[in-house]
């Protein structure tokens, strides 16, 4: 997330944006939150987080409801061993296509695979350089693949105390 936030900071600075409204979905929400938590909010008027990953996903003493490091190790191992198959397999739980009665099409799953394969492998299987950010991957937006209470707006608020949730 630090790399993404640094890239966003560079873009905002280069374009000399002020009073920006940042909108982030999924990993992008984590990027926006990390940006606000690092360079600050001097150029940001508002931020919108939609289904955002939490800024700290890793289970630690300070984040006991986080995801165990073993889950991230499995992601890294899967991406390293057979990146293509990893993303094909991940598409089912990511979209809930593995649930009875699912109407998720093969086309949607294939598009997920294509988008995943077009990403740099270094971003998808991030190294262990930082224990705060084990990688940008999140095992989906389907409640069967993760604990929705472990992230989202409550965790985002830790990074940006002035944040408020509106619906």
Q: What is the pLDDT of residue 130?
A: 36
Q: How far is CA 129 from the centre of its chain?
A: 17
Q: What is the pLDDT of residue 127?
A: 41
- Tens of pLDDT, residues 121-135: 554 444 433 333 333
User: Taking 90 as the threshold, does the pLDDT of residue 1 lie above it?
Assistant: no
Q: What is the DSSP letter of 22?
A: E
Average pLDDT (77-83) is: 93
Q: What is the pLDDT of residue 38?
A: 84
- Tens of pLDDT, residues 46-61: 999 998 887 678 899 9
* Residues found in the chain: 167
In the predicted model, what is the mean pLDDT of the chain? 77
Residues 6 or more apart in contact with residue 127 via CB below 8 angstroms:
none
Average pLDDT (151-156) is: 44
pLDDT tier, 162 (very low <50, low <70, confident <90, very high otherwise)? low
Nearest to 99 by CA among 66, 148, 141: 141
Average pLDDT (147-153) is: 42
Radius of gyration, alpha carbons of the chain: 16
User: Taking 60 as the threshold, does the pLDDT of residue 87 lie above it?
Assistant: yes
Query: What does the H/E/C string look like for 67-126?
Result: ECHHHHHHHHHHHHHHHHHHHHHHHHHHHCCCCCCCCCCHHHHHHHHHHHHHCCHHHHCC
Q: How far is 131 from 123, CA to CA, in rounded Å? A: 16
Token reading at 15: 């374009």
Are 54 and 152 spatial neighbours (Cβ–Cβ below 8 Å)? Answer: yes
Average pLDDT (26-40) is: 87
pLDDT tier, 152 (very low <50, low <70, confident <90, very high otherwise)? very low
Which stretch of DSSP H or E encloses residue 30? helix 27-37
């Amino acid at each position: 997330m630090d790399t993404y936030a640094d890239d966003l900071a560079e873009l905002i600075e280069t374009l000399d944006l002020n009073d920006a409204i940042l909108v982030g979905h999924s990993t992008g929400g984590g990027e926006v939150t990390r940006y606000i938590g690092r360079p600050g909010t001097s150029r940001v008027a508002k931020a919108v987080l939609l289904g955002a990953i939490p800024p700290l996903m890793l289970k630690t003493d300070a984040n006991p409801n986080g995801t165990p490091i073993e889950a991230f190790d499995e992601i890294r191992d899967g991406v390293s061993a057979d990146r293509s198959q990893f993303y094909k397999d991940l598409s089912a739980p990511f979209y809930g296509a593995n649930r009875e009665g699912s109407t998720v099409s093969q086309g949607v799953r294939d598009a997920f695979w294509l988008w995943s394969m077009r990403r740099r492998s270094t971003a998808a299987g991030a190294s262990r350089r930082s224990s705060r950010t084990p990688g940008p991957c999140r095992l989906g937006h389907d409640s069967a693949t993760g604990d929705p209470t472990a992230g989202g707006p409550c965790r985002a608020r830790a990074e940006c105390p002035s944040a408020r949730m509106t619906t």
